[in-house]
Amino acid sequence: MLLQALGLSHRFGEREALAGVDVTVRPGVLTGLLGPNGAGKTTLMRVVLGIIEPDAGQVLLDGRPVAFADRQRWGYMPQERGLYPQMPAGRQLVYLARLHGLSPAEAEARARALLAELGLGERWAERTERLSGGLQQRLQLGAALVHDPDVIVLDEPFAGLDPVAVEELSQSLRERVRAGRTVVLSSHQLDLVQDLCEEIVMIDHGRTVLTGRVDRLRASSGRRQLRLGLAPGTPRDWLTAFPAVEVVADQADALRLDLPPGTDALAVLDAARAAGSVIDFGLDLPTLSQLFLAAVGDAVPGGAGPDA
Ligand SMILES: Nc1ncnc2c1ncn2[C@@H]1O[C@H](COP(=O)(O)OP(=O)(O)OP(=O)(O)O)[C@@H](O)[C@H]1O
Ligand SMILES: [Mg+2]
């Protein structure tokens, strides 16, 4: 199903949390809502979920206004987690599945399959409060997925997770995306999701900063970074031949250079090789956080927001 948020605006008193943001989430295209702390991601998701009434704008599903019944078929993982601490992990999911109308047998089968998928198969009978923070987060994702929703909205699903858990949960999400579900997730860790999300909407102070396919956004700036692994003692004077090239990092045995659009990367590499021994090299596209910084100038992704 095609999920669209069009022209969303919302104020909390004097504070403008959303100032006309558009987000389109297509089925089968994992979409990231990115931005630093306080950008408006949670507010936007709450508006999409119908928890907050926007001051302006609308939320459409397959081109028509979202109805209450539509949202029954959605799964939402809120940023503030809401599990019952005393309830055993398995029973928690069975309970939620039953609320969604599954039979007792279906609910139990779904809960067992999900716990196994999320690496919690051994924790069926364990009280939720005894699970580590990361394991509770996996369970919270299970809670959002237990009724096999058509539309999946996840607010910071990766915050606080270790890299293995990030990869495992990413795998679960990719499978659902491949099955044609509509999936949007938010993250303030811009680079964490750049290999996972196909499309992104990046917001800051309630406004859209960048939007589109991640690969095109990263390629379209024309900027690249050249990494050079150098034999110690390799001089740097050859860099003066490339005044537009900026040194991002200079260590004893490594250089990282920012190449503006149009720079002949091979000419730079050749100059380095002529000056000394190049042991290793690589050409990288800018990361999403570098694009964010370039777009907004002063803000720090993942750092302090406007309220700090
Ligand atoms: N209930 C509220 N009352 C007043 N202001 C609020 C409320 N909820 C959010 N805000 C403000 O709206 C702005 C956007 O907040 P929001 O929680 O949507 O940001 P976010 O992008 O989700 O940030 P984070 O990465 O920290 O989760 C912030 O300035 C925040 O302080
Ligand atoms: Mg948030």
Euclidean distance between CA atoms 203 and 5, whole angstroms: 14
pLDDT digits (tens, 9 = 90+) for 172-210: 999 999 999 999 999 999 999 999 999 999 999 999 999
Residue 71: HSE in the Cβ half-sphere, 13 Å Cα cutoff? 15
In the predicted model, what is the mean pLDDT of the chain?
93
Q: Phi then psi for 86, rounded to 5 degrees?
A: -80, -20
Which amino acid belongs to residue 248?
V
Query: For ligand 1, is residue 15 a contact (CB within 6 Å)?
Result: yes
pLDDT digits (tens, 9 = 90+) for 249-287: 999 999 999 999 999 999 999 999 999 899 999 999 999
Query: For ligand 1, is residue 39 a contact (CB within 6 Å)?
Result: yes
Query: Above 60 in pLDDT, residue 299?
Result: no
Percent of the chain with pLDDT over 70: 96
Query: For ligand 1, is residue 37 a contact (CB within 6 Å)?
Result: yes
| Structure-token pair, residue 237 | 């004077």
Measured from the CA of 35, which atom of ligand 1 is nearest? Answer: 21
Quote the distance between the C-alpha of residue 183 and its chain's center.
11
**pLDDT at position 302, please?**
42
Which amino acid belongs to residue 120?
L
pLDDT digits (tens, 9 = 90+) for 84-116: 999 999 999 999 999 999 999 999 999 999 999
**pLDDT at position 308, please?**
32
Euclidean distance between CA atoms 139 and 127, whole angstroms: 11
Task: Please name the residue whose Cα sits nearest to atom 4 of ligand 1.
Answer: 12
Query: For ligand 1, is residue 79 a contact (CB within 6 Å)?
Result: yes
pTM over 0.85: yes
Query: For ligand 1, is residue 135 a contact (CB within 6 Å)?
Result: no
C-alpha to C-alpha distances, 21 to 58, 208, 291, nearest whole angstrom? 10, 6, 19
Q: What is the DSSP letter of 240?
A: G
Judged by phi (left if over 0) then psi (alpha if -120 to 50, else beta), residue 86 lies in alpha
Please, which pLDDT band fits residue 221 given cuts at 50, 70 and 90? confident
Helix axes 133-145, 104-117, angle to 10 degrees: 140
Task: Please name the residue whose Cα sits nearest to atom 27 of ligand 1.
Answer: 37
Please, which pLDDT band fits residue 81 given cuts at 50, 70 and 90? confident
Query: For ligand 1, is residue 224 a contact (CB within 6 Å)?
Result: no
Instruction: Identify which ligand lies nearest to the alpha carbon of 203.
Output: 1
* Distance of CA 228 from the midpoint of ligand 1 (Å): 41
Query: For ligand 1, is residue 307 a contact (CB within 6 Å)?
Result: yes
**pLDDT at position 82, please?**
84
Instruction: Identify which ligand lies nearest to the alpha carbon of 33.
Output: 1
Euclidean distance between CA atoms 193 and 148, whole angstroms: 23
Query: For ligand 1, is residue 12 a contact (CB within 6 Å)?
Result: yes
Q: What is the DSSP letter of 21?
A: E
* Distance of CA 36 from the midpoint of ligand 2 (Å): 9
Which helix (H) or strand (E) covers residue 203, if one does? strand 199-204
Measured from the CA of 46, which atom of ligand 1 is nearest? Answer: 18
* Distance of CA 43 from the midpoint of ligand 2 (Å): 7
Instruction: Identify which ligand lies nearest to the alpha carbon of 205.
Output: 1
**pLDDT at position 168, please?**
92
Euclidean distance between CA atoms 211 and 201, whole angstroms: 4
Domains of the chain by start residue, with CATH:
3-73+150-218 (3.40.50.300), 224-284 (3.30.70)
Which amino acid belongs to residue 32?
G
pLDDT digits (tens, 9 = 90+) for 150-172: 999 999 999 989 999 999 999 99
